[in-house]
Amino acid sequence: MFEQNQAFVWNGKEKKLKIVNRLPVYDINELLGIERQKELLLSNTKAFIEGKEVNNVLLWGERGTGKTTLIRALLTYFKDSPLRMIQVLKSDILTIPYLYDLIYEYENFRFIIFIDDLSFNEDEQEFRDLKIVMDGGIEEIPENSVIYATSNRRHLMPSISNTDDELFPEDSIQERASLIERFGLRIGFYRFSEEQYLNVVKHYAKKAELILSDEELITRAHEWALVHGTSGRSAYQFVLSLQIF
């Protein structure tokens, strides 16, 4: 299974892997405006493939800035390597130790456990479960696995709004920080500047071979941004709209 396939989805209820037969193909060079973020993630991933000990990674920040796409693009970038990716839903976090049992048997491969759009509310038990999973408890974590996660929240949880009922409110702050610290590499993604946004628009417009003057393209891109924002996703969706309407 791992010889012939790159990506999988973990079914925590059945303790099984589903093969991803239709892999998205992303050219990492097409992801603009996030050069430093790409450099950090590629360096960590390359070292991991080479068998070195690396950090778990949290990609956090503005929506639509390329966090999830960047992780997906690793499959194309490292296509001819032992890298494999397994996506785990937040609801299946508690079953990851069973996934570890499977990964442990295939030491020739390097597994990224990918958790997308990770965040927690105050009363969610998965918050504490993930800390245990990432530490391994009394069970050793396979050295050929690492966790990559994305989140729109820097600290994975909303800010503490009311600590009046707590005798030691600083304990809640420490508990939140203890999960974040399990991600040794935390990469921030920020809202694009107007210049970055327009550069991405021009790139996609050129690729789509749109027949528009630069002046008209910029004017309409500004109008689009007033409603949709200035993210990379917004720029891509804007160019798609020009091809339809």
- Domain check: are 132 and 43 in the same one? yes
C-alpha span between 218 and 20 (Å, rounded): 39
Supply the pLDDT for residue 161. 56
Long-range CB contacts for residues 8-12, cutoff 8 Å, separation at least 24: 8/84, 8/85, 8/86, 8/87, 9/86, 9/87, 10/86, 10/87, 10/88, 10/89, 10/92, 10/95, 10/96, 10/99, 11/92, 12/88, 12/89, 12/91, 12/92, 12/94, 12/95, 12/96, 12/98
Q: In the chain, how many domains are there?
A: 2
The CATH number of whichever domain residue 160 belongs to comes to 3.40.50.300
- Domain check: are 130 and 216 in the same one? no
Block means of pLDDT (10 residues each) for the chain, 245 residues, are 96 96 92 95 98 96 93 96 96 93 95 92 72 80 96 72 55 63 93 94 94 94 95 94 85
- Domain check: are 71 and 119 in the same one? yes
- Domain check: are 159 and 234 in the same one? no
Supply the pLDDT for residue 179. 75
- Domain check: are 148 and 99 in the same one? yes
pLDDT digits (tens, 9 = 90+) for 67-108: 999 999 999 999 999 999 999 998 899 899 999 999 999 999
- Domain check: are 204 and 99 in the same one? no
Supply the pLDDT for residue 79. 94
pLDDT digits (tens, 9 = 90+) for 51-70: 999 999 999 998 999 999 99
Supply the pLDDT for residue 123. 66
DSSP string, 233-245: HHHHHHHHHHHH-
- Domain check: are 162 and 230 in the same one? no
Domain range enclosing 20: 7-189
- Domain check: are 37 and 78 in the same one? yes
1 within a domain of the structure (yes/no): no
- Domain check: are 175 and 92 in the same one? yes
Supply the pLDDT for residue 139. 83
37 within a domain of the structure (yes/no): yes
2 within a domain of the structure (yes/no): no
